[in-house]
Amino acid sequence: MTVISVPGSATDTVAPTTRRRRKHNVLLIVGLTLFGLLVLVAILAPVLATHDPIQQDLAHARLAPGAPGHLLGTDELGRDVFSRLLYGARVDLRVGVLAVVSPFIIGTVLGLVAGWFGGWLDTLIMRIVDVVIAFPFFVLVIALVFALGAGTGSIYVAITMVGWVAYCRIVRGEVLVAKEQEYALAARASGLPTWRILFRHLLPNVVLQAVIFSMSDIVLTILAIVTLGYLGLGVPPPTPDWGSMIQDGQQFLLTQWYLATIPGVAVVITGLALALIADGLVERFDSR
Amino acid sequence: MSPLLEVHDLHVEIPLPHAHLYAVRGVSLTVDAGESIGVVGESGSGKSITLRALLGLLPRPAQVTKGSIILDGVDVTGLPERRRTKMLTDAMSMVFQDSLTALNPVMRVGDQIAEVPRRRLGMSKRAAHARAVELMDQVGIPEPERRFRAYPHQLSGGMRQRVCIAIALSAEPRLILADEPTTALDVTIQAQVLEVIDGLRRDHQLGVVLVSHDLAVISQTCSRIYVMYAGRVIESGSIRQLLSLARHPYTFALLRAVPDPDLPVHRLLTIPGQPPDLTAVPAGCSFAPRCALTEPACREVDPPLTAVPKEPDHASACIRLETASQWLDWAPVGVPDLVKKT
């Protein structure tokens, strides 16, 4: 498709490159497809699962993948690995995504405010950020979960309280750059209210970096849940989640390596899907 | 009737960690409705800072330290900040140099034009849309309905600058401040955009303040010129007055530095030296170190802007302004390049 543009003529509205870019954004398409499949699997878990994920059957424990009736074998308590994997997706995707949403929102808003207004407000917010960052991530999360009591609710709260700082710093840095751009100046010059400049003009321009970070943050959060599970502060058993499956499987690593490996692969695929989405988003939206 | 906008003795200072930068040192100007004035000066002469000060949009930590801004006969300088900003932004709009950065890259251009009518002027969504299309048509954007949905990067530079002008108009201002609106455009598009601005001035009785470093652009559109140097207005007057006989050696040299297309150019004329460091302004005329006509008195007092005798509205800040008609003749006697004709 060749369009010869004459400035001022009718032909120069839509540059052909954007359409081509949209059509051939392989990364985004593959990433979204992969992630979509994972979500679909999570939603359809009750339909797809061949067994009850918490039904124990000690007579058929630790069967190898491919055993009759058990596609991916059974674990040390005779629970069907395939079914647990599907139900695990439900728990992990839900907790992972939800535990990223609130720090994303809180951090983004505080970062916008700190970057735009500057002054004492900026100093205050950034000092709080410094304090939170001064502690190692897990020390703080574990302390908070411990204080609040194990369970998914506590995980959300703890990860929110610790996780927002990353978004805050990313967004603040972007705002510092964007607010010196002429479009921000132009918005102020046209007398629009501050909240509108912040959320309609600045936010869409600065949020991309935060969205990209959130993709890897979901993976990190899932890993954090795995780690918490390992310490007995995660999703309480027998609810299946990939973290506890890995933990349970690792003691049989020499004999039944697949017990820990299969949920591990699931975590890797999720991470890959999200990373592809993040890269695809950069390609699609980053005009710089 | 009082003029649309009057600026008196405006001073802007920028406190730096180790110094104090006197960016604008006493600028006064007047704009009437339907009048277009030009502000010329080299980079760093304080022209953009002056514009931003007018809208109350100075970059931190710059601040207005002295002077007054009088809008329709009302001195807004003493008003509380909120009120002042509202009055200023209601009355004036700004057009920026680089239309690519002046437009929000992730918002459709039509939505950007419709935003002020919708949010500030309280129009319905449909009315604001219609208004935006009408404005796009007014600034000469063909097929406005279709272009409404375009993003800034999908438009050419000339179209983008037209969008910027449409946005500026959308607030229904009485005064447009244009900061080098055509610098990023090529010459043919430049002429078209200037034509758009000039047409709007005529049709809507808009006041226009056009800032540029390009004398050709200014003389094409403006009736009066203010020449700025080192944060001060050093000469002001009508286009005709300045072009026929500049009364300040800086303007004089500047006009001579414009190559004459009818003459063979052997060498472009330049003004030797650098503008002064505005953190430590020396006593005396700030142009004296670069001026070919300096006499000892020039280094003692900074001459105020003085009316040129027998020429109404023409003023110059040179103590030798009365001798201007002879400057060219003095060229052979030891005056360097700047006043020598090729």
CATH number for the domain that contains residue A62:
1.10.3720.10
Compute the half-sphere exposure of residue B72: CA atoms within 13 Å on the CB side of its CA.
8
Cα–Cα dist A56/A87, whole Å: 15
pLDDT for A13 equals 45
Domains identified in chain A, total number: 1
Q: Could you tell me if the ipTM is greater than 0.90?
A: no
Residue with the larger pLDDT of the pair B341 and A135:
A135
Q: What is the pLDDT of residues B183-206, one digit of tens each?
A: 878 888 888 888 888 888 888 889
**A19, burial (CB in 10 Å: exposed 0-12, middle 13-18, buried 19+):** exposed
- For residue B120, give the nearest of A189, A191, A204 by CB distance: A191
Interchain pair B89, A118: CB under 8 A: no
Mean pLDDT in residue range A99-122: 91
User: How close, in Å, is residue A94 to chain B by CA atoms?
Assistant: 30
Q: What is the pLDDT of residues B295-314, one digit of tens each?
A: 888 888 888 888 888 888 88
CA distances from A199 to A119, B243, B315 (A): 20, 49, 48
User: How close, in Å, is residue B294 to chain A by CA atoms?
Assistant: 40
- Rounded to two decimals, the pTM is 0.76
Q: Choose from A3, A6, A182 for mutation: most chain B CBs within 10 A.
A: A182
Indicate the fold that domain B5-222 takes in CATH: Rossmann fold (3.40.50)
pLDDT for A61 equals 67
pLDDT for B341 equals 43
User: How close, in Å, is residue B271 to chain A by CA atoms?
Assistant: 32
State the count of interchain CB pairs (< 8 A) between A and B: 100
Is A18 within a domain?
A: no
Range(s) of chain B covered by CATH 3.40.50.300: 5-222
Cα–Cα dist B224/B46, whole Å: 18
Mean pLDDT in residue range A15-42: 73
Interchain pair B98, A182: CB under 8 A: yes
- For residue B158, give the nearest of A7, A204, A287 by CB distance: A7
Candidate from A11-25, A198-212, A216-230, B259-273 with smallest mean pLDDT: A11-25
- For residue A8, give the nearest of B107, B159, B170 by CB distance: B159
Q: What does residue B173 show for φ and ψ, rounded to 5 degrees?
A: -80, 170
User: How close, in Å, is residue A5 to chain B by CA atoms?
Assistant: 9
CB pairs under 8 A, 24+ apart, for A19-24? A21/A283, A21/A284, A22/A284
pLDDT band for position B340 (cuts 50, 70, 90):
very low
Q: Determine contact, residues B311/B241, Cβ cutoff 8 Å.
A: yes
Strands B175-179 and B92-95: parallel
- Does position B67 have pLDDT exceeding 80, yes or no? yes
Task: Report chain A residues whose CB lies below 8 A from the CB of B142.
Answer: 8-10
Q: Determine contact, residues B125/B209, Cβ cutoff 8 Å.
A: no
Is A9 within a domain?
A: no
Candidate from A60-74, A268-282, B316-330 with smallest mean pLDDT: A60-74
Q: Choose from B55, B106, B120, B162 for mutation: most chain A CBs within 10 A.
A: B106
pLDDT for B37 equals 92
CB proximity list for B258: less than 8 A, separation 6 or greater: B215, B216
Range of the domain at A270: 25-285
Task: Report chain B residues whose CB lies below 8 A from the CB of A183.
Answer: 101-105
